[in-house]
Amino acid sequence: MKITIQKIIYPGKSLGISENKTILTDEGIPGETVDVTPLKEKKNYIEAKTINIINPSELRTLPACSHYQACGPYQYIEYSGQVNIKKAQLKELFPKTHINVSSSPIIWRYRNKIKLNVLWKNGKASLAYHTPESRDEFTLIDSCHMASENVNSFLGSFINAANKENLNFIREIEVRESFSTKELMFTAIPFEKSDNRLNELFSKFCLKDTYIEENVSGKTFRIGRGTFFQINIPMLEIAIQKIISSLRADKKDTLADLYCGIGTFGITLSPFVKEVIGIESESDNISFLKSNIKLNRVENFKLYEGSCEKLFPLLLNKAIDILIIDPPRKGIDNMLCHNINFSSIKKIAYLSCNPATLSRDLKILNRSYLIRSLHLLDFFPQTPHIETLAILERQVSS
C-alpha cells in the first residue's frame, strides 16, 4: 500500500490517507511517499509498518543505531526536523498559544540512565531492549548512541564478565551515570550485591551501588537506585533557568513544590524564596530528599510526606505564592486542579512529560490562570517524547 505522509502525530506515528482510511505507520516524514504493509485494522484507522521509502525527504538521515526503533525512533530525521515536528504537535494542542522552543545542547549520548534486558542463549549473554510495543520480544544491541561512551564501555565489559563468570542469575541491568562526575551506579536485577563475581567489574569502573552525585545549578544531588531524576542534565539546567526567570520569585514568597522527588526544583529555588514546601510520596525519593536538603544546607525547606492529592488541600490555609508541579505522565488529579484554582497561588510552573495530560489539566486551571508562556524543552532528542513547561499567572478579577 502506497501513502503520502501528511504529519507525525504524538507519540510518533506517521499518518497518511488511503481510500479515505487513516493509516498510522511506524516511520515516515511529512511529504514522503512510502510503501506500508497493514498490520491491524482498528475502528477508525489501520496500523501499518513502513517497508520502503519511495520519495525520501531532505530531512531523512541515516540512524546512528541499527536498533533505533527501540531506543530512538526519530533517529532517521534530522534534528531540526524532529524539533519542528514536536512543535507542530504541541501547536495542535495549544493552537492559540505561542510556543517557545529550547533545543537540547547535546543530541547524542545524553541519557544518564539506561535499562537493558540480559538474554541468555546457549549459556551466552546478550543485551537487548524490548521491541517497540511488545513486552515479550527483544531487539539485541551491542552498544547504543543514546548512552555515553563511558556507559557503552561498561556494557561491553559487563557482557564479558557475565559470560566469563556465568552470571546467569541476571535478567536485567540498570546503569546510571553522573554527567558532572562521570560516576556509574550499577544495578543487577535480581539484585545480588553479595555476589563476589561482580567485584572485578565494580573495581574496574569504580561502580557505585547506593548512589551517585550530580551537580546542577550550583547544588549537589545524591541520586539513588530507585529515585527519579531527569535524564538530560544540560537540558535540565536550561529548564531550571527558564523557571527561575519566569517565576521572578523574591524573598517574601512561599513556594510549594508538588511531586518534589529528591528536591531538584525546590532546592535549586530555595535561595530565591522565604520558604519551600515540598510534597512527596515515594519512600526512596523522600530518603534522598532529606539527604539532599542536609547536603546543600537548605534551612527553609519544609517536607510533607504523602500524596499531593491528599496533602495539598490541607495547606490551602497557608499563604502559598508560587507553585511548581512536575507530575508523572498521568498528570494531576482533577480535584487537585480545582483546589489549585481555589488557592491564593499567584504563579505556577507546570513541567509535563505528557502534552495530552497537560492540555487536559490546563483546561481546568485556565478558569483561574492564564498561560503566560509555553516552552517546548527538548529533553529527549531522537525520540518522540515531549517535555513542556507552562508558566501560569492568576487572572486578575475585573
Question: Taking 80 as the threshold, does the pLDDT of residue 116 lie above it?
Answer: yes
Instruction: Average the pLDDT over each of 3-7, 132-136, 156-160, 214-218 and give the range with the smallest value.
Output: 132-136
Same domain, 382 and 243: yes
**Position 265 confidence tier, pLDDT thresholds 50, 70, 90:** very high
Query: pLDDT (tens digit, 9 = 90+) per residue, 220-234?
Result: 999 999 899 999 999
Output the pLDDT for position 213: 97
The answer to whether 352 and 358 have CB atoms below 8 angstroms apart is yes
Question: Taking 60 as the threshold, does the pLDDT of residue 279 lie above it?
Answer: yes
Same domain, 119 and 50: no
Q: Report the CATH number at residue 331.
A: 3.40.50.150
Output the pLDDT for position 318: 85
Same domain, 279 and 362: yes
Q: Tell whether 283 is covered by a domain.
A: yes
Same domain, 384 and 259: yes
Same domain, 386 and 242: yes
Output the pLDDT for position 35: 96
Output the pLDDT for position 153: 95
> What percent of the chain is predicted at pLDDT more than 70?
98
Same domain, 316 and 384: yes
Q: Which of 194, 209, 224 is the last residue in one of the domains?
A: 209
d(CA 113, CA 383): 15
> Phi and psi at residue 53, in whole multiples of 5°?
-100, 115
**Position 193 confidence tier, pLDDT thresholds 50, 70, 90:** low
Q: Which of 60, 82, 104 is the last residue in one of the domains?
A: 60
Q: Tell whether 87 is covered by a domain.
A: no
Output the pLDDT for position 198: 80
Output the pLDDT for position 74: 98
Same domain, 205 and 254: no
Q: Tell whether 17 is covered by a domain.
A: yes
Same domain, 240 and 341: yes
Output the pLDDT for position 209: 85
d(CA 282, CA 274): 26
Q: What is the DSSP string of 286-318?
A: HHHHHHHHHHTT--SEEEEES-HHHHGGGGTTS
**Position 362 confidence tier, pLDDT thresholds 50, 70, 90:** very high
Question: Taking 90 as the threshold, does the pLDDT of residue 156 lie above it?
Answer: yes
Q: Report the CATH number at residue 118.
A: 2.40.50.1070
**Segment 366-390 mean pLDDT:** 97
Same domain, 264 and 390: yes
Q: What share of the chain is helix, strand, coil (3-state, %, to 5)?
A: 30, 35, 40
Same domain, 204 and 236: no
Question: Taking 80 as the threshold, does the pLDDT of residue 59 lie above it?
Answer: yes
Q: Between 368 and 203, where is the model more confident?
A: 368
How many separate domains does the chain show? Answer: 3
The boundaries of the domain holding residue 351 are 232-394
> What percent of the chain is predicted at pLDDT more than 90?
87
- Average pLDDT of the chain is 94
Q: What is the DSSP string of 5-38?
A: EEEEETTTEEEEEETTEEEEES---TT-EEEEEE
Same domain, 241 and 365: yes
Q: Tell whether 376 is covered by a domain.
A: yes
> Phi and psi at residue 242, in whole multiples of 5°?
-60, -45
The answer to whether 142 and 152 have CB atoms below 8 angstroms apart is no
**Segment 288-302 mean pLDDT:** 98
Output the pLDDT for position 195: 66
The single-letter code of the amino acid at 26 is D
Q: Tell whether 340 is covered by a domain.
A: yes
d(CA 128, CA 324): 37
Q: Tell whether 68 is covered by a domain.
A: no
Q: Which of 149, 175, 209 is the last residue in one of the domains?
A: 209
**Position 19 confidence tier, pLDDT thresholds 50, 70, 90:** confident
Q: Tell whether 331 is covered by a domain.
A: yes
Q: Report the CATH number at residue 26.
A: 2.40.50.140
Same domain, 144 and 257: no
Q: Tell whether 225 is covered by a domain.
A: no
**Position 192 confidence tier, pLDDT thresholds 50, 70, 90:** low
**Segment 124-148 mean pLDDT:** 93
